């Protein structure tokens, strides 16, 4: 077991080697010592409270070092269910914690380290539930396919959930199972456009939600910054590199079009979820990769595939919501047992769930409907 000083130096070396360019100036020796000290206290409390800490790929490197599992949104929830965790502290954004609660049900206590509004997501804030309900009235029998990056209320008015791993397969299955019915895909327009094109489906069959709501576009504000120009610049600088593109990217459908018309070779560009990027990088013969997703993923790729080189597509691809998770907040959350996501007996509206500084609610009926949509995806 390394001493505190040894772990602080080990983290200092590791974080600066794999993430020094991603977060310049963040990892001083002094800060690494503070982090190592807090991690001791976190481990002690987590053991006492029977908590399993899980963290999304986009979190700061220190979370990758202490989490029992690091991964993508759906993968982590399924992992928590299969691990039979008594309690999970889910370090990510709020909708991911809520998805884990839906999937693990009453068996597992799920905590997030700050309020749902703080651990937000532009996709959640940009979803207009009423617009979707009106779409259903305009399209009787219509089918709604919703990205997992959405709140419980949106999942509850959906027929199928999809993730960035399986979006094209779910969309195809939804269309095949409902012949003649119009399908709405929401809430991410970039994911929607690229998925519809990959599934070979037409605009007549699949409509994409492109609405603006509460000041947010129907997209991930982080991936939207990855435009065709930033990708071209990186391709010029690293002509041998493969492109790993998250389908939420603003450049995704243009890039797919360029692959389809032969402008970019097929074996060069891959549209992948964060976890699929890791699987792909391990098995690809390529030695260099331009990574078009949130910077946090680069640390994981560099650490787990150290023999290859990974370039972030652009400096500004950082999710401020994910980066709200800190060791200080996780410690407070473990010490004070907050904020727990609990089912309530429909005491509130799922679009405005009751939240205080200890708990946040998922109304049980909305939770059941949301889980039915998740189950339809899992069955595909």
In 10 A of CB 44, how many CB atoms?
A: 11
Residues 80-119 that bind ligand SF4 (CB under 6 A): 93
SS3 83: helix
Rounded to a whole number of angstroms, the minimum distance from the CB of residue 227 to ligand 13P is 17
Report the distance separating Cα 216 and Cα 118, nearest Å. Answer: 15
Report the distance separating Cα 136 and Cα 54, nearest Å. Answer: 36
Rounded to a whole number of angstroms, the minimum distance from the CB of residue 314 to ligand SF4 is 14
Q: Which of 12-20, 126-134, 220-228, 329-337 is the region at the interface with ligand SF4 (rule: CB under 6 A)? A: 220-228
* Residue 73 partner contact from ligand 13P, ligand SF4, none using kind-dependent CB cut-offs of 5 to 8 Å: ligand 13P
Q: Which tokens hold the place of 338?
A: 């907050």
Count Cα neighbours of 353 within 13 Å in the Cβ-side half-sphere: 27
Strands of the sheet with 87-91, listed across from one edge? 69-71, 51-56, 87-91, 109-111, 340-344, 359-363
Candidates 89, 128, 224, 248; binder of ligand 13P (CB under 6 A) is: 248
Candidates 8, 100, 112, 123; binder of ligand SF4 (CB under 6 A) is: 123
Reply yes or no: is the peptide bond before residue 187 cis, omega within 30 of 0.
yes
Candidates 121, 174, 272, 371; binder of ligand SF4 (CB under 6 A) is: 121
Candidates 62, 65, 72, 151; binder of ligand 13P (CB under 6 A) is: 72
SS3 95: helix
Q: Does 108 bind ligand 13P (CB under 6 A)?
A: no
What is the size of the binding site for ligand 13P (CB under 6 A)? 10
Name the residue with tokens 């651990």: 119
Query: Nearest to residue 274, comparing CAs of 294, 253, 250?
Result: 294
Choice between 52 and 273, CB closer to ligand SF4: 273
Q: Which tokens hold the place of 354?
A: 């009751």
Choice between 11 and 221, CB closer to ligand 13P: 221
- Taking residues 127 to 166 in sequence order and writing x for each that binds ligand SF4 by CB under 6 A, - otherwise, the string is ----------------------x-----------------
Rg of the chain taking only CA atoms, in angstroms: 21
Q: Which tokens hold the place of 60?
A: 């700061």
Query: Nearest to residue 344, comparing CAs of 101, 160, 78, 118?
Result: 101
* Residue 55 partner contact from ligand 13P, ligand SF4, none using kind-dependent CB cut-offs of 5 to 8 Å: none
Q: Does 273 bind ligand 13P (CB under 6 A)?
A: yes
Q: Return the bridge partners of 89, or none.
A: 53, 111
Choice between 148 and 199, CB closer to ligand 13P: 148
Candidates 146, 274, 324, 333; binder of ligand 13P (CB under 6 A) is: 274
Report the distance separating Cα 215 and Cα 202, nearest Å. Answer: 29
Candidates 52, 149, 150, 333; binder of ligand 13P (CB under 6 A) is: 149
**Interface residues toward ligand SF4, by CB under 6 A:** 93, 121-123, 149, 220-223, 294, 319, 321-322
**Interface residues toward ligand 13P, by CB under 6 A:** 57, 72-73, 149, 163-164, 220, 248, 273-274
């Amino acid at each position: 077991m390394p001493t505190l000083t040894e772990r602080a130096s080990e983290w200092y070396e590791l974080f600066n080697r794999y993430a020094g360019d991603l977060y310049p100036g963040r990892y001083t020796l002094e800060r690494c010592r503070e982090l190592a000290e807090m991690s001791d206290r976190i481990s002690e409390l987590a053991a006492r409270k029977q908590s399993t800490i899980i963290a999304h790929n986009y979190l700061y490197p220190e979370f990758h070092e202490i989490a029992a599992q690091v991964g993508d949104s759906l993968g982590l929830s399924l992992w928590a269910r299969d691990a039979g965790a008594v309690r999970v502290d889910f370090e990510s954004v709020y909708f991911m914690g809520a998805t884990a609660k839906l999937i693990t049900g009453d068996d597992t206590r799920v905590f997030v380290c700050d309020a749902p509004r703080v651990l937000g997501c532009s996709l959640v804030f940009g979803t207009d539930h009423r617009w979707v309900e009106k779409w259903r009235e305009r399209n009787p029998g219509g089918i709604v396919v919703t990205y997992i990056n959405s709140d419980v209320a949106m999942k509850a008015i959906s027929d199928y959930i999809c993730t960035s791993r399986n979006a094209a397969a779910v969309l195809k299955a939804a269309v095949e199972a409902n012949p003649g019915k119009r399908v709405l895909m929401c809430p991410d327009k970039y994911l929607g456009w690229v998925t519809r094109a990959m599934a070979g489906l037409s605009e007549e069959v699949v409509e994409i939600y492109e609405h603006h709501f509460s000041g947010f576009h129907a997209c991930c504000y982080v991936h939207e910054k990855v435009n065709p120009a930033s990708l071209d610049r990186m391709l010029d600088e690293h002509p041998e590199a493969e492109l790993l593109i998250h389908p939420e990217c603003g450049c995704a459908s243009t890039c797919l079009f360029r692959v389809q018309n032969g402008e970019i070779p097929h074996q060069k560009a891959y549209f992948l979820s964060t976890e699929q990027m890791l699987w792909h990088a391990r098995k690809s013969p390529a030695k260099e990769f331009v990574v078009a997703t949130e910077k946090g993923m680069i640390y994981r790729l560099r650490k787990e595939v150290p023999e290859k080189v990974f370039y972030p597509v652009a400096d500004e691809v950082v999710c401020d919501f994910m980066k709200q998770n800190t060791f200080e907040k996780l410690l407070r959350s473990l010490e004070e047992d907050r904020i727990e996501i609990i089912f309530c007996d429909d005491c509130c509206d799922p679009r405005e769930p009751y939240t205080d500084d200890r708990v946040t609610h998922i109304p049980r009926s909305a939770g059941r409907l949301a889980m039915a949509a998740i189950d339809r995806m899992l069955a595909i």
